[in-house]
Amino acid sequence: MVMIVVLSFLERAHSQVLAQGQSENRPWMDKALSPDRRADWVLQEMTLDEKIALLHGNGMPGWPRTVPGANPCLGNGGAGFVLGVPRLGIPIIQMSDAAYGVRSSGENGRYSTALPSSIASAASWDVQAACAYGALIGRELRAQGYNMTLGGGVNLTREPRNGRTFEYLGEDPILAGTMVGNRVKCEQAQHVIGDMKHYALNDQESGRNEVNVIIGKRAMRESDLLAFQIGIEIADPGAVMCSYNAVMGDYACENKYLLTDVLKKDWNFKGFVLSDWAGTHSTEKASAAGLDHEEPMDDFFGEKFKAAVEAGKIPMSELNDHVHRILRSEFASGMVDNPVQKSVVDVEGGFDISRHIAEQSIVLLKNDQGILPLDRTKLRSIAVIGTNANTSMISGGGSAQVDPPGHGATQWKEHVWFPTSPLKAIAPKAPEATVEFDSGADPASAAALAKRSDVAIVFVYQWESEDMDLPNLSLPENQDAIIEQVAAANPRTLVVLETGTAVTMPWLNQVRGVVEAWYAGSKGADAVANILFGEVNPSAKLPMTFPRSEADLPHPRLVTPPPDKATEGKLTFEVHYDERLKVGYKWYDAENKPVLFPFGFGLSYTTFSYSGLRVTTGSGTTVGFTVKNTGSRAGEEIAEVYAALPANAGEPPKRLVGWDKVQLNAGESKEVTVPVKTFYLSIYDEASDSWKLVPGSYTFMVGGSSQNLPLVETVNLK
């Protein structure tokens, strides 16, 4: 109680100082000025100590120590905070991890909506859903007293065993970049600083502080960096977070090529670069390379930075550039002009948005003999089987973890199940049926229940978290065997996957249906039930390939650090991305490897046909075609456009270059036009450090997945 009173007093006192500062004649408070001009005005008035204070965080709950002299009561219980300049009207930056909802709500006794995981959002292929996703997080950040998000993960799925795959947006740079850009753009529209991370090539968690990624410029520019480039172009984010790993010998947070040459010069990024937590390794080198801000402490960007400036080792112009970028982001986001005021989160509104996005994100992978949607008029008994399927659904862990209601603050790497009950969501859909539950702890018991039921629905999970990778892509806890025994007892078995990445399915041929629900958020069970019973027609498609086994991956064995505690935090091993440009479906295409489910795949309760392909070239390239709903109910089709480049371009067989999500009534046809950016048809030329369109023959392909492309047309581009 004393802490709450002290915090409330400090917040009021800080607000009063800000109000007083704004009431005086301060030209930087003129909203008509550009963010750059306003930042310039403030910078002229700042002391050296005030500038240094903007370059680092001040600790966070649970961190071993705090910055000397910093008052932790000024923090909001989130991932970190940056002191403002009260006399100049510059507020504190309050940061929260917010990958799929606002984290640390439990720290300050408040509520957050859990959205479906980011990989689920990508499965919607829907920029409007991405915007709704970001806007909800932005509103809830402000309601809880935060004005900066640390979400916006966009590392490509080069390694599906990566423990943070659920936080990212799949394996294709154009899809991932487009989705993250629209998310962050709409987040920032709520007057919070947006962030994209982890820049760059943080594609595995094992040894993330010790790994040196070896990859060529062209390969990185056309894959992982391309996703960032597209996202930054769309959103103009206030911040980019550099990653833990090294790239070509230099840590990402002191890598001049990444931070200055590419991000700030080539892409003209105007925001600031902050380190991942304890990802800063130096003062002068990091500063010169383009790092602007250290989190969560001041080990390198505090007194050491000030001393380096005073000694002339860091030019004042370099310091001023760091500070200007931070101030600019504060003004550009609107957080200065629209101070945060804590308020009550719209719980029911959040539930509706979370459920709707989940419904757009759930992928129907298998539907043999039309077992789905379930016909409630013909069901007399339903078996619901699986760990916690009577009470809850799993969520992703680590810094992304959203605290569930009534739980309090979650522990690091705690398995957290959100109170959204599949059993309770399914039962009302078939009121005339007997719905029974079995945890699956005893496979024989689960099989017995399945045998006496009309249909068996098995909920299985695979938990992921930051700071660890999966040992394999199999379901844990003997769940494969449970599915096999249930399916042997009842051929009408459905499997609902609660995962953050791909899984192998040795039982696939034994079950009638498979539904990928991902980590489905606060209302995931309701969304799953609506899909199973046909109240919602599934439209989502995979943003990543599901391989048959780990043996088919570019790196069948995950490269991990040597087991030596003495070398933690030092570069001790390398990961060579010898697959280069061949990320995800491009790898399987190039290597002629069959897959379990391809990128872009997803079924519907209706069917679609494609016809009339026409490719128009000239000042730009446009791909037109007709999509028809050939089934008996309304549905949405994600129509995908791919291109094969000329042979001398040296590219994988094809790349995604555009798509459109088309809503069609039964029997309806629509003309679809997809503009294709020349940039998306170009390759990165290392010799000239530029993007080039290779003249020659381009083949455009259109269809419903990366391996179902019935329309093909070849044109010459100059």
CA 352 – CA 83 distance, rounded (Å): 36
- The predicted-structure confidence for 108-135, as pLDDT tens digits, reads as follows 667 899 999 999 999 999 999 999 999 9
pLDDT, position 24 = 57
CA 112 – CA 96 distance, rounded (Å): 12
CA 420 – CA 427 distance, rounded (Å): 13
- Non-local (6+) Cβ contacts of 231 within 8 A are 152, 154, 176, 177, 178, 180, 181, 184, 196, 237
* Within a domain: 640: yes
pLDDT, position 408 = 67
What whole-number percentage of the chain has pLDDT above 90? Answer: 89
Same domain, 324 and 352: no
pLDDT, position 567 = 73
Task: State the total domains in the chain.
Answer: 3
333, 367, 399 — which closes off a domain? 333
Question: What CATH number should be reported for the domain holding residue 264?
Answer: 3.20.20.300
* Within a domain: 217: yes
Same domain, 214 and 78: yes
Question: What CATH number should be reported for the domain holding residue 612?
Answer: 2.60.40.10
- The predicted-structure confidence for 656-712, as pLDDT tens digits, reads as follows 999 999 999 999 999 999 999 999 999 999 999 999 999 999 999 999 999 999 999
Mean pLDDT of the chain: 94
303, 333, 363 — which closes off a domain? 333
pLDDT, position 336 = 98
Give the mean model confidence (pLDDT) for residues 540-563: 95
Same domain, 296 and 237: yes
**pTM beyond cutoff 0.75:** yes
pLDDT, position 4 = 37
Rg (CA), the chain: 26
CA 162 – CA 650 distance, rounded (Å): 28
- The predicted-structure confidence for 164-190, as pLDDT tens digits, reads as follows 999 999 999 999 999 999 999 999 999
Question: What CATH number should be reported for the domain holding residue 428?
Answer: 3.40.50.1700
* Within a domain: 239: yes
What whole-number percentage of the chain has pLDDT above 70? Answer: 95
- The predicted-structure confidence for 451-470, as pLDDT tens digits, reads as follows 999 999 999 999 999 999 99
Cα–Cα distances (Å) from 143 to 12, 176, 195, 340, 343, in that order, read: 16, 28, 19, 8, 5
- pLDDT of residue 1 exceeding 70, the answer is no
pLDDT, position 108 = 62
Give the mean model confidence (pLDDT) for residues 19-47: 86
Residue ranges making up the domain that contains 262: 2-98+147-333
Confidence of residue 88 (pLDDT cuts 50, 70, 90): very high
* Within a domain: 526: yes
Residue 469 · residue 162 · CB < 8 Å: yes
Give the mean model confidence (pLDDT) for residues 217-231: 98
- pLDDT of residue 584 exceeding 70, the answer is yes
* Within a domain: 584: no
pLDDT, position 63 = 74
- pLDDT of residue 288 exceeding 60, the answer is yes
Same domain, 388 and 328: no
Give the mean model confidence (pLDDT) for residues 140-163: 97
Same domain, 283 and 425: no
Same domain, 310 and 368: no
Please report which helix (H) or strand (E) contains residue 674, including its range: strand 669-676
* Within a domain: 553: no
- The predicted-structure confidence for 90-111, as pLDDT tens digits, reads as follows 999 999 999 999 987 556 667 8
Give the mean model confidence (pLDDT) for residues 526-543: 98
Same domain, 539 and 496: yes
Same domain, 219 and 304: yes
Sign (positive/negative) of CA torsion 476, 477, 478, 480?
Answer: negative
* Within a domain: 311: yes
pLDDT, position 10 = 45
Same domain, 28 and 64: yes
Confidence of residue 5 (pLDDT cuts 50, 70, 90): very low
544, 568, 589 — which closes off a domain? 544
- pLDDT of residue 144 exceeding 90, the answer is yes
Same domain, 55 and 162: yes
Same domain, 390 and 329: no
* Within a domain: 446: yes
Same domain, 659 and 682: yes
